[in-house]
């Protein structure tokens, strides 16, 4: 359906049609963002998830960076419709690979299939999977749809982390609203080459990926203490959070640098360097939170990530709407400083989650409600 609606976008004859088909493409394209984390939880042992997650998050974080670069030149050369044709071609290729090679990984489904096969082979209708919920497919569907909302409402950990990730994700798109005016208007970049200025965020994201990818599993193993009898100790999800506490400081620093150097029209590489720091912090926070949610809600990892994705997507869509008016009123310097001060105020929250997250998580254990 994602492929089909991208084709529909390319064939749109009015703005209303384009917006409608883009909405539908976004709805169907959201599935990998939530199911991907659940698949990692199914397939990968906890002590190796950090490295695997560093690969998975490349898409959601680098997509918004690479897209404008490719889209800028493609639109300039072939027109906007070809943006959607390329999306349809690439997504169609990977959809074909998925149909051929991807297999179910969810234990609940796999055991239910096995039980169904054994019932047919043995003729015993009483055989059931030990993970069988006892719900009808209809009730199971509605419970699964409602579960992410329950996690947001009843788990302070899920809610606070989702809001924090949503905030920095919204910042990413808020910055995008300024790039054309800053680099095309102030620094004289062409409409095609202005997309290259997104490389600062891209390089920063790759650096953040390397930092957290290398350190996450190592910190988890180092902090996990063996039990008194010598058996392996508990690998707590909170052991995923230390990198976030330190790298989160780079977000306000980068915002201050980008805002004031672009305001004073300092050589363009300096504001791009500011966006690089933002990219490091953005990726590190996103990855630490995603890995934490997978470790903390293993069986419901997809639902936890769905809750996170919901808030992130809403804030990524809404915050940029306020961007033009904010920058018009405050200017680039104070506008980005306002964002930087808000990001700075969030850092103690990251420290609290790192220090007291386990107690909060256990106090508000919601698994019985799901």
pLDDT, tens digit, 9 for 90 and up, residues 90-126: 999 999 999 999 999 988 889 999 999 999 999 998 8
How confident is residue 269, by pLDDT bands cut at 50, 70 and 90? very high
Mean pLDDT of 174-180: 85
Tell whether the model's pLDDT for residue 144 goes beyond 90: no
With the CA atoms of 66, 68, 69 and 72 taken in that order, what torsion angle do they form, in degrees rounded to the nearest 10? 150
Q: Give residues with Cβ within 8 angstroms of 28, minimum separation 6.
A: 1, 2, 5
Residue 105 CA to its chain's centroid (Å): 21
Tell whether the model's pLDDT for residue 171 goes beyond 80: yes
Report the chain's mean pLDDT, rounded to a whole number: 88
Pull the structure tokens for residue 347. Answer: 């850092």
Q: What is the pTM of this model?
A: 0.81
Distant-in-sequence contacts of 215-222, Cβ < 8 A, 24+ apart: 215/50, 215/243, 216/49, 216/50, 216/51, 216/53, 216/54, 216/240, 216/243, 216/287, 216/288, 216/291, 217/47, 217/48, 217/49, 217/50, 217/51, 219/243, 220/46, 220/47, 220/50, 221/47
Query: What is the fold, at CATH topology level, of the domain defined by 60-79+145-362?
Result: Growth Hormone; Chain: A; (1.20.1250)
In 3D, which of 336, 130, 161 has the Cα closest to residue 240?
161
Give me the DSSP letters along 150-202: HHHHH-HHHHHHHHHHHHHHHHHHHHHHHHIIIIIIIS---TTGGGGGGHHHH
- The residue among 297 and 230 whose pLDDT is bigger is 297
CB distance 206 to 54 below 8 Å: no
Distance CA 189, CA 180 (A): 9
CA quadruple 204, 31, 149, 37: dihedral positive or negative?
Answer: negative
Distance CA 212, CA 114 (A): 38
How confident is residue 370, by pLDDT bands cut at 50, 70 and 90? low
Q: Give residues with Cβ within 8 angstroms of 33, minimum separation 6.
A: 60, 305, 309
How confident is residue 253, by pLDDT bands cut at 50, 70 and 90? very high
Which pLDDT score, from 0 to 100, does residue 295 have? 87
Which pLDDT score, from 0 to 100, does residue 78 have? 87
What Rg, from alpha-carbon coordinates, does the chain have?
A: 23
Distance CA 324, CA 344 (A): 22
Q: Among residues of the chain, what percentage have pLDDT more than 70?
A: 98
Which pLDDT score, from 0 to 100, does residue 98 have? 92
Angstrom CA distances, 235 to 5, 223, 224, 232, 240, stand at 43, 8, 6, 9, 10
Tell whether the model's pLDDT for residue 15 goes beyond 90: yes
Domain ranges for the chain: 60-79+145-362
Which string of b and e fits 213-231 if b means at least 16 CB within 10 Å? bebbbebbeeeeeeeeeee
Interval 16-59: pLDDT, tens: 999 999 999 988 988 887 788 888 888 988 888 888 888 887 77
Mean pLDDT of 347-353: 88
- Give the count of beta carbons closer than 10 Å to the beta carbon of residue 53: 26
Q: Give residues with Cβ within 8 angstroms of 257, minimum separation 6.
A: 270, 271, 273, 274, 277
Tell whether the model's pLDDT for residue 359 goes beyond 80: yes
- Give the count of beta carbons closer than 10 Å to the beta carbon of residue 180: 16
């Amino acid at each position: 359906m994602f492929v089909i609606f991208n084709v529909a976008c390319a064939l749109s004859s009015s703005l209303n049609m384009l917006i409608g088909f883009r909405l539908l493409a976004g709805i169907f394209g959201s599935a990998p963002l939530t199911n991907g984390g659940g698949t990692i939880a199914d397939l990968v042992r906890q002590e190796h998830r950090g490295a695997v997650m560093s690969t998975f998050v490349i898409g959601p974080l680098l997509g918004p960076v690479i897209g404008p670069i490719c889209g800028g030149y493609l639109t300039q050369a072939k027109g906007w419709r070809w943006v959607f044709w390329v999306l349809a071609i690439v997504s169609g290729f990977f959809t074909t690979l998925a149909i051929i090679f991807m297999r179910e990984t969810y234990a609940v489904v796999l055991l239910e299939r096995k039980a169904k096969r054994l019932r047919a082979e043995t003729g015993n209708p009483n055989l059931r999977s030990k993970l069988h919920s006892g719900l009808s497919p209809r009730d199971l569907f509605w419970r699964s749809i409602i579960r992410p909302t329950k996690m947001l409402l009843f788990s302070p950990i899920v809610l606070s982390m989702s809001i924090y990730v949503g905030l920095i994700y919204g910042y990413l798109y808020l910055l995008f609203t300024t790039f054309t005016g800053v680099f095309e208007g102030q620094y004289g970049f062409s409409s095609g080459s202005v997309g290259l200025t997104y490389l600062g965020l891209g390089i920063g994201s790759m650096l953040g990926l390397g930092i957290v990818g290398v350190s996450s599993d190592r910190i988890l193993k180092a902090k996990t203490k063996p039990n008194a009898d010598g058996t392996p100790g508990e690998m707590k999800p909170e052991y995923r959070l230390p990198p976030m506490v330190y790298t989160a400081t780079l977000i306000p620093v980068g915002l201050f640098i980008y805002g004031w150097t672009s305001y004073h029209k300092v050589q363009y590489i300096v504001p791009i360097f500011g966006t690089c720091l933002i990219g490091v912090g953005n990726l590190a926070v996103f990855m630490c939170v995603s890995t934490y949610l997978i470790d903390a809600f293993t069986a419901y990892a997809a639902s936890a990530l769905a809750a996170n994705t919901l808030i992130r997507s809403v804030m990524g869509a809404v915050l940029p709407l306020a961007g033009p008016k904010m920058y018009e009123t405050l200017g680039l310097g104070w506008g980005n400083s306002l964002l930087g001060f808000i990001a700075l105020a969030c850092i103690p929250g990251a420290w609290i989650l790192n220090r007291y997250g386990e107690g909060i998580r256990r106090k508000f254990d919601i698994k019985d409600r799901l």
